[in-house]
Structure 1
Amino acid sequence: MPGRQTPTVALRVRSATRQSLRALINGADLDAKVPTCPEWTLRDLAVHVGGAHRWVDEIVRTQATEAVPDERVPQFTPDGDDPAVLDAWLADGAAKTVAALREAGAGQPVWAWAWDRSTGFWARRMAHETVVHRADAAVTVNADYEVAPELAADTIDEWLEIVSFAQSEGDREAVELRGAGRSLHLHATDTPGAEWLIEFGDDRFTWRRAHEKATVAVRGPLTDLMLVFNRRQGVDSGRVEVLGERELLDFWLERATFA
């Protein structure tokens, strides 16, 4: 099972998931509340994703060396509430972002908020941004949802990297993810090699791909593991099985954030 995707693969997948997100939104009630992001409507969700893509396009295209304010991003929001305008805006923003990333290549230095300040980081980040928010759209319109195994696995890998980075930056909740002698195991039942062991230490947590006994284990199809781990599906949904100390899993899910 591959771990981190190359930016080229991430770009192809991002383009495909982008089209699927548009398909979920087209014809839906854009004023419907998003259960997994209750402060948003479906329109808010679409504008968030589209704005994020245009923001990254501006960062990559201008080879920005510092954060880009929203007001500097061309057409950061769609012009009006017409669903057809929204769809065209989403499609155009996605195309611009893909084109900018492809032209720049994977190793171009640019500003990023994280550990990897390069275009490769943004290609990967936007792929997973779309994957997770497509899940939000799917649950809102009651549609089926599944992710290609390579992408679902890398979404888990990247989220672990983000939470680890948040912990190193002193994020208030992430720093609590410690306490030696405890561990969390994720085990995809439908994808060979898709397993993760998260171990808590005195000062921080570490993680690796491994099949080992743990304080608590979560088993289920890879897409469902990814959704639970990203708090897009409830632990009690019946889609995954929890073995061991459920309290540790809840402890992780409550604190694995990055504001």
Structure 2
Amino acid sequence: MNAAPHPLPLDCPAYLRVIQREAEAFAQTLGAGSLDRRVPMSPEWTLADLTVHLGLVHRWATRIVTSGEQADRPDPPEGADLPAWFEQGARALLDALSAAEPEAGCWGFGPEQRMAFWFRRQAQETAVHRHDAQEAAGPPEPIEAVLAADGVDELLAVMLPRAAARFGEPPQLRAALRLHATDTGHSWLLGSSSGGHTPEVSLFDGAALDASARLSGTAEGLLLSLWRRIEPAAALTVDGDPGVIEDLWGGRLTT
């Protein structure tokens, strides 16, 4: 009998370990070559641009976790030693989260208004951008499977509704769609949607789901495809109605 999929979300100590590990790997990439290297996920960006982006996100999250309230985004650095500046921001974020009570109230841009929101969000933010940074230098290290499955879950539960609220372009699915992570056993059911509404999403434990189409692949393949980092055809398998899959990719999934 197959083991049950790992529960999602992960616990906050696990997210802290992820942030530390992924931030250290990001910093190591900065020291391995020129910051002028182009980032494949956004060719108009250099590695320096990506560093500023992630460093500012870390500092913004630190402000929110420290105060518990919504905060303005910090200004970009001027004339800074970017690797050192990045490491300082990552350390400040880890210190702030380590001192925070996950169940305490805190502003977040998702439905969860607790400190725990920021543990998960920053773990996922740092992991995906570490992958981006390493890809600028060569083949990236994979995103760990359960972390990637957690990222798929967060994207569908938080980032998809946020993108719909900000841009009004959610996928309009003509029928239900199942996403299945073949390596972790997690499955998500996206309900049919129309009229500009965001599809309803449910997480399952790998049981058979009634859907008109299925998109299957490793958790990392699903995550990177949903974040538009890779071409889905290179990593995922389609079963059922291909029109439903086209509906998914035709909408805006993230901010």
So what's the TM-score if we normalise by structure 1?
0.84
1:84-138 CA distance string (max 9 Å, x none):
x222222111111011111122123233222222221111111111122122223
Given that residues 60 and 119 in structure 1 are in contact (C-alpha distance below 8 angstroms), is that contact kept between their aligned partners in structure 2? Answer: yes
Secondary structure class of the residue paired with 1:186: strand
Deviation at 1:167, TM superposition (A): 6.9
The answer to whether the aligner puts 1:60 opposite 2:54 as a matched pair is no
Partner of 1:77: 77
CA distance in 2, matches of 1:221, 1:148: 10
Residue 177 (str. 1) matches residue 165 (str. 2): no
Structure 1 distance, partners of 2:218, 2:254, is 25
2:110 is matched with 114
Matched, 1:190 2:183: yes
Provide closer, same or farther for how the CA distance between residues 78 and 16 of structure 1 changes in structure 2, counting only shifts above 3 A: farther
Q: Does 1:205 align with 2:210?
A: no
State the distance in 1 between where 2:34 and 2:137 align.
8
How much has 1:16 moved relative to structure 2?
0.8
State the Cα RMSD in Å. 2.3
Change (3 A) 1:178 1:247: closer
Alignment of 1:224-235 (within 5 A): 224-235=221-232
Name 1:49's counterpart in structure 2. Answer: 54
- Which of 5, 16, 19 is the aligned partner of 1:14? 19
Question: 1:18 offset after TM fit, Å?
Answer: 1.1
Closer, same or farther in 2 for the Cα pair 1:248/1:140, shift >3 Å?
Answer: farther
Cα pair 2:173 2:247 within 8 Å, conserved: no
TM-score by length of 2: 0.85
1:92 aligns with 2:88: yes
Query: Aligned match of 1:253 in 219, 224, 249?
Result: 249
Q: The residue matched to 1:187 in structure 2 has which SS?
A: strand
After the TM superposition, which parts of structure 1 deviate over 4 Å for at least 4 consecutive aligned residues?
none
Aligned-pair CA distance for 1:78: 6.1
The answer to whether the 8 A contact 1:110-1:117 is kept is: yes
Post-superposition offset of 1:48: 0.5
For residue 185 of structure 1, what is the amino acid of its counterpart?
R
CA positional deviation for 1:157: 0.5
The one-letter code sitting in structure 1 at the alignment partner of 2:120 is R
Q: After superposition, where does 1:128-167 map in structure 2 within 5 Å? A: 128-166=124-162
* CA apart distance, 1:201: 3.8
Native 8 Å contact 2:38 2:46 kept in 1: yes
Unmatched tracts of structure 1, length 5 or more: none
User: Which segment drifts farther, 39-48 or 27-36?
Assistant: 27-36
Question: 1:88–1:198: structure 2 CA closer, same or farther, 3 Å change rule?
Answer: same
Aligned-residue offset at 1:151: 1.0
2:99 aligns to what?
A: 103
Deviation at 1:189, TM superposition (A): 2.2
1:160 Cα offset (Å): 0.3
| Post-superposition offset of 1:219 | 2.0
1:41 Cα deviation after fit: 1.1
Letter in 2 for 1:5: L
d(CA) in 1 for partners of 2:73, 2:54: 16
SS of 2:56 mapped into structure 1: helix
Matches of 2:78 and 2:14 in 1, distance apart?
A: 28
Deviation at 1:146, TM superposition (A): 1.2
